[in-house]
């Protein structure tokens, strides 16, 4: 059953909606435990059950922008102002290795929410991404705080002090992309992938200390990093369900016949020593998604976040 449909992605463009039940891909029936597969660059016709009726939809999945990390990119940042001066910011993905463009999108969204007293950050179904996560975490606090670190097997075997790891504490979004990328490559390329992340120390916001983060079982990778950082430093209240627990950085190489093997290359550890691979970030306020409420036109998780935000 469909749950998270990201704005601007192939699913939304095809007309797929939450509560749709996937029955067929082209002419092949799909049922658990089989996992549906949607190769990049294909145009499958899917059959869904919608309110007891069969509906066919044509999905156009574009070729990948990167063969190394193939994914279909929805609209990354969506923002609005809800009732009672509550800002709403949804970040569905953090594309790009450095994420400079999406970092600028988040900056613009945050600027537009500057007059809000509270903020709901929606990371439900977050797909992960690159270093743009640093900018998202930095918008949660004006302080420069240690976030966590990646450590390679080689570094772990030889021993290390987390305080002495190479620090990444700034995204050079004030420079043109080519110059920013060159600067970061000179500083970090061809080094052991063990790094310490430190928040950037951005401007103070009216809603700092009054943030609610929405997560669910489909929140992975960078979304889990943000949630763990906010929870450990009491920067936000986490509402929803336990995240996916998929947080190991990896890289891939082609195996032929269209397959790619993804290998882990480092482990991510929060500054307080927590690891979330295999088990996710537990919400402070548990609120499972209710299909019945959604069918009635209500998002019960967002409603819960709004209630919590009024007392945060």
Kindly report, residue by residue over 61-89, the tens digit of the pLDDT. Answer: 998 876 666 678 899 999 999 988 999 99
Separate counts of helices (H) and strands (E) for the chain? 8, 16
Specify whether the CB–CB gap between 17 and 84 falls below 8 A: no
3-state helix, strand, coil in the chain (%, to 5): 25, 25, 50
Residues 6+ apart with CB under 8 A from 197: 134, 137, 146, 147, 148, 149, 167, 168, 169
pTM of the model: 0.93
pLDDT score recorded for residue 190: 67
Specify whether the CB–CB gap between 245 and 224 falls below 8 A: yes
CA separation for the pair 102, 136 (Å, rounded): 10
Residues 6+ apart with CB under 8 A from 65: 73, 95
Select from 230, 246, 162 the least CA-distant residue to 196: 162
CA 218: distance to chain centroid?
9
Specify whether the CB–CB gap between 132 and 93 falls below 8 A: no
The secondary structure of residue 64, as a DSSP letter, is P
Select from 215, 188, 226, 190 the least CA-distant residue to 284: 215
Residue 130 sits at the vertex; the CA angle it makes with 140 and 64, to the nearest 5 degrees, is: 135
Strand partners, 260: 254
Specify whether the CB–CB gap between 221 and 247 falls below 8 A: yes
Q: What is the pLDDT along the chain (312 residues), one digit of tens a residue?
A: 999 999 999 999 999 999 999 999 998 999 888 889 898 899 999 999 998 899 999 999 998 876 666 678 899 999 999 988 999 999 999 998 789 999 999 999 999 999 999 999 999 999 998 899 999 999 999 999 999 999 988 899 999 999 999 999 999 999 999 999 898 888 887 678 899 999 999 999 999 999 999 999 999 999 999 999 999 999 999 999 999 999 877 777 778 877 778 888 888 999 999 999 999 999 999 999 999 999 999 999 999 999 999 887
Q: Cα dist. 128→97, 106, 145 in Å? A: 11, 15, 21
pLDDT digits (tens, 9 = 90+) for 45-58: 999 999 889 999 99
Q: Where, residue-wise, is CATH 3.90.226.10 in the chain?
A: 77-309
Distance spanning both ends of the chain, measured CA to CA: 33
Fold of 77-309: 2-enoyl-CoA Hydratase; Chain A, domain 1 (3.90.226)
């Amino acid at each position: 059953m469909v749950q998270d449909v990201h704005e601007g992605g192939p699913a939304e463009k095809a007309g797929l909606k939450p509560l749709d039940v996937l029955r067929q891909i082209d002419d092949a029936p799909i049922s658990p435990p089989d996992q549906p597969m949607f190769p990049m660059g294909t145009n499958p016709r899917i059959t869904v059950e919608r309110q007891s009726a069969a509906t066919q939809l044509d999905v156009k999945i574009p070729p990948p922008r990167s063969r190394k990390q193939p994914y279909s990119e929805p609209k990354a940042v969506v923002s609005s102002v809800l009732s009672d001066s509550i800002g709403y910011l949804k970040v569905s993905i953090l594309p790009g290795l450095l994420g400079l463009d999406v970092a600028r999108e988040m900056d613009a969204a945050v600027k537009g929410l500057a007059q809000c007293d509270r903020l709901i950050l929606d990371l439900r179904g977050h797909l992960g991404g690159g270093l743009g996560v640093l900018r998202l975490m930095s918008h949660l606090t004006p302080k420069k705080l240690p976030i966590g670190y990646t450590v390679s097997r080689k570094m772990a075997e030889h021993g290390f002090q987390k305080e002495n790891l190479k620090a990444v504490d700034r995204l050079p979004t004030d420079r043109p992309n080519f110059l920013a990328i060159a600067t970061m490559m000179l500083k970090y390329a061809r080094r052991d992938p063990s790094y310490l992340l430190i928040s950037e120390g951005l401007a103070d916001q009216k809603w700092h200390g009054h943030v609610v983060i929405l997560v669910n079982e489909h929140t992975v990778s960078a979304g889990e990093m943000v949630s763990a950082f906010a929870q450990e430093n009491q920067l936000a209240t986490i509402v929803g369900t336990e995240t996916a627990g998929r947080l190991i950085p990896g890289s891939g190489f082609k195996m032929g016949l269209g397959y790619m093997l993804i290998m882990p290359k480092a482990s991510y550890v929060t500054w307080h020593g927590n690891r979330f691979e295999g088990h996710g970030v537990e919400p402070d306020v548990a609120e499972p998604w209710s299909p019945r409420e959604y069918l009635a036109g209500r998002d019960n998780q967002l409603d819960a976040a709004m209630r919590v935000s009024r007392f945060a």
